[in-house]
Structure 1
Amino acid sequence: MRVVAGIYGGRRLHAPRGDGTRPTSDRVREAVFSALGPLDGAVVLDLFAGTGALGIEALSRGAARALFVEQDRRALAVLRRNLADLSVPAPAAQVRGGDARAALRTARERGDHYSLVFLDPPYRLAPALGDELTDGLTGLLAPGARVVAEMDRRAPLELGLPCVLDRRYGDTLIRIHSATT
């Protein structure tokens, strides 16, 4: 697995052993970022970050900063290793260990706003998280923000936000939603 394009383009990313973390494939990441277009200055929230591949790709392509949230300790260690190996500066990348829903509450309390959010929850949990994640994102999305959700096509994550793109890549379904604010 590699960073597809940008300042870190071609650089290798690590993934934890086993099937506990499911990194977004290079092919799917390339398609997502082609659909998103320029990211200059974007403020990114990468929930269920895993290896950090989506947020790192955004930073590589011009995003100003990214907050990575991951609960799994092994994935969190790999995420930190990926950021260190790429020498991503600390102000540009912040990592928080813990539950994504708690991170949303904390971000709201701090008054944070994001222009790009990545949601890639464990596939088995995705169908039950739609309403909770939609509510959690309320107040966090900057005007014109986009939310990219990755899911298994057989167990979709249904968000209460307008869907502007719906694409399937094998069993992976990508939906890009727009902020309603």
Structure 2
Amino acid sequence: MRVIAGKARGMRLTAPRGTTTRPTSDRVKEALFSLLDSAGRLDGMRVLDLFAGSGSLGIEALSRGAEQVTFIEKDRHALESLRLNLGHTGFSDRAEVLPFDCLQALERLVRQKVCFDLILLDPPYQAGLHQKVIELAGSALLAADGLVVAEAAARTPLPERIGPCNRSDRRIYGDTALELYTMEQRHAP
């Protein structure tokens, strides 16, 4: 695992011990950030990295110009890797690490009335959390022009609409799908 582009380009990242996390492949990460870069979606953005694991996605966002990233991860080994990676890349000062269960952390952020321009999530595919997390994050934490990017199993598409979010794009890379959601556009009467 490495940082692909930006200020920390080429830096190696530490992966957590054990099998409780599944790091995003460099191929999928590169495709995701090419999409975001081409849309001008990273400069100065506030990013939420859910199920952060080693922090690879959020660190890539920081390297490419995100202003701040909030990482949510509960696994002890993943947290250890995440903190090491933030220190190694020099991004600790632009990162917040919440060592909680995802839903607990989301509820905490909702109470704090925090808003994010980009929400990245890569939950365990079989956990059935995609819809619940997208609905909660989209309805309470996503900026009006924000974007939710969910990594999911390619063979099981997520719904076109989840809560206030509509799927705007779906890209498949082998067994992995990137599903992009934006807020439903409300038109004035």
Show structure 1 runs of 5+ residues with no match: none
Provide the rounded CA distance (Å) in 1 between the counterparts of 2:110 and 2:156: 28
Q: 1:99 to 1:29 in 2, by over 3 A?
A: same
1:40-95 CA distance string (max 9 Å, x none): 110000000001111000001000000000011111111011001112142x1010
Of 10-19 and 103-112, more deviation after overlay is shown by: 10-19
Structure 2 unaligned spans of 5+: none
Question: 1:173 maps to which residue?
Answer: 177
Larger Rg: 2
Determine if the alignment matches structure 1 residue 40 to structure 2 residue 46.
no
Cα distance in 2, alignment partners of residues 122 and 52 from structure 1: 15
| 1:22-37 superposed matches below 5 A | 22-37=22-37
3-state DSSP class of the match of 1:35? Answer: helix
> Percent identity at matched positions?
47
Q: Taking structure 1 as the reference length, what is the TM-score of the superposition? A: 0.92
Query: What is the CA-CA distance between 1:155 and the residue it aligns to?
Result: 4.4
User: Residues of 1 paired with 2:131 and 2:50: CA distance?
Assistant: 15
Q: Is the 8 A contact 2:171 2:178 kept in 1?
A: yes
Amino acid at match of 2:23: P
Question: Number of residue pairs matched?
Answer: 178
Asked whether the equivalents of residues 130 and 150 of structure 2 are also in contact (C-alpha less than 8 Å), the reply is: no
Match of 2:113 in 1: 111
Q: 1:68 aligns with which of 71, 75, 82?
A: 71
Cα separation, 1, equivalents of 2:133 and 2:92: 29
**CA contact under 8 A between 1:129 and 1:157: conserved in structure 2?**
no
Measure the CA separation in 2 of the matches of 1:147 and 1:46: 10
> Following TM superposition, by how much is the alpha carbon of 1:109 offset from its aligned partner in structure 2, in angstroms?
0.5
Q: Deviation at 1:20?
A: 1.6
- Secondary structure, counterpart of 1:136 in structure 2: helix
For 1:106 and 1:170, the matched residues in 2 are separated by 35
Give the RMSD, CA atoms, in angstroms: 1.5
Cα distance, 1:131 vs structure 2: 3.6
